[in-house]
Structure 1
Amino acid sequence: MADDAPVPVDACRETTTDLRRVGIAPDFWYPVAVSSTVRREGTFAAVFAGERIALYRGRSGKVYALEDRCAHRQVPLSMGVVEEETLRCCYHAWAYRGNGHISQIPYLPKGCERPPRGVRSYPVREAYGLVFVFPGNPEMAAAAPFPELPQFGAATHRTMTFSRTVRCHYSFMHENLLDMNHQFLHRSVLGRIQPELLGYESGPRFVEARYLFVPAGGRKDRGAGLLSAEGRGGRQTPDVVTIRTEYPYQTLQDVPTGAELPAFSLWTAYVPQDAEQRTCHAYGLLMIAKPPVPGLIHLAWPLIRRFTERVFAQDRMAVEAEQLAWDEQGEDRNHEVFPLILEVRNVLRTNGTPLRPEAATAEPLAVDGPATK
Structure 2
Amino acid sequence: MESTTATLNPQLTGQIVQNQIRTIGINPNYWYAVAWAKDVTADQQITPVKIWNQEIALYRDQTGQIQAVEDICPHKGVSLHKGSVKGDNIVCAYHGWEFSPAGECSNIPYYPTDQKLPRACLRTYPVRERYGLIFLFPGDQSRADSTPMLEIPQYDDPNYLMIPIGAEFESHYTICNENTMDVFHGHLHQNLQGWYDPILKQLQQTENSVCAEYQVSYSGIMTNFLGLNDSSGQTTQTITVDYVYPNYINTLKGSSFLYLMRLPIDPSHSRSFAMMFVKVRIPRWILDPIRTVLEPVIRERFFMRFLRQDIEMIESEYSHYKQDPERRYVEVNPAIIAVQRLMQRQHDRYISEQTKISSHHQPLQSQDRQAS
TM-score after normalising by structure 1: 0.82
Which secondary structure does the structure 1 equivalent of 2:331 belong to? coil
- Identify which of 26, 33, 40 aligns with 1:31: 33
The root-mean-square deviation of aligned C-alpha atoms, in Å, is: 2.5
Q: Is residue 280 of structure 1 aligned with residue 267 of structure 2?
A: no
> Residue 111 and residue 83 in structure 1: after superposition, are their counterparts in 2 closer, same or farther (change >3 A)?
closer
Q: 1: CA distance between counterparts of 2:17 and 2:241?
A: 29
* Count of aligned pairs between the two proteins: 330
8 Å contact from structure 2 (residues 223, 233) kept in 1:
no
1:101 pairs with 2:93:
no
| Cross-structure match for 1:225 | 224
| Distance across 1 between alignment mates of 2:137 and 2:77 | 22
Residue identity opposite 1:293 in structure 2: P
Equivalents in 2 of 1:300, 1:163: separation in Å?
A: 17
The letter of the residue matching 1:227 is L
Paired-residue identity, %: 28
**As a proportion of its length, which structure holds more helix?**
2
Check the 8 A contact 1:71/1:118 in 2, yes or no. Answer: yes
Q: CA offset at residue 84 of structure 1?
A: 1.9
Residues 235 and 16 of structure 1, relative CA distance in 2, 3 Å threshold = closer
Partner SS state of residue 18, structure 1: helix
Retained in 2: the 8 A contact 1:228–1:236?
Answer: no
Q: Relative to structure 1, is the Cα distance of residues 300 and 93 closer, same or farther in structure 2, using a 3 angstrom cutoff?
A: closer
- Contact 1:168–1:323 (8 Å) recurs in 2: yes
What amino acid is the match of 2:139?
G
Q: Is the 8 A contact 2:203 2:212 kept in 1?
A: yes
Counterpart amino acid of residue 213 in structure 1 = V
Aligned equivalents of 1:188, 1:23: Cα separation in 2: 36
- Counterpart CA distance in 2 for 1:328 and 1:28 is 32
Residue type of the alignment partner of 2:33? P
Contact 2:17 2:329 in 1 (8 A): no
Counterpart of 1:78 in structure 2 is 81
Aligned to 1:351: 346
1:127-170 deviation line (CA, Å, top 9, x unaligned): 11111111111111111120000101211112211222101111
In the TM superposition, 1:104-123 aligns within 5 A as: 104-123=107-126
Q: 1:271 is matched with which residue: 263, 271, 276?
A: 263
Unaligned runs of 5+ in 2: 1-15, 352-372
- 1:355 and 1:180, CA in 2 relative to 1: closer, same or farther beyond 3 A? same
After superposition, what is the alpha-carbon deviation per residue over 1:241-284, rounded to whole angstroms, capped at 9, x for unaligned?
100111111111111xxxxxx1111111221212xx12111111
Is there any run of 5+ residues in structure 1 with no aligned partner, and where?
1-13, 256-261, 357-373
Task: Please give the alpha-carbon distance, in whole angstroms, between the structure 2 residues aligned to 1:125 and 1:327.
Answer: 35
Give the C-alpha shift of residue 113 in structure 1. 2.3
Query: Partner of 1:249 in structure 2?
Result: 247
Could you tell me whether the CA contact under 8 Å between 1:80 and 1:90 is conserved in 2?
yes
Q: Which amino acid aligns with 2:246?
A: P
CA contact (8 A) 1:22 1:349 kept: yes
Distance 1:340 1:328 in 2: 26
Q: Distance in 2 between matches of 1:350 and 1:76?
A: 34
Residue 203 (structure 1) aligned with residue 206 (structure 2): yes
Q: Which residue of 2 aligns with 1:291?
A: 281
**AA at the equivalent of 1:240:** T
Alpha-carbon deviation of 1:112? 3.0
Q: CA deviation at 1:355?
A: 11
From the superposition, tell whether residues 192 and 265 of structure 1 become closer, same or farther in structure 2 (CA, over 3 Å): closer
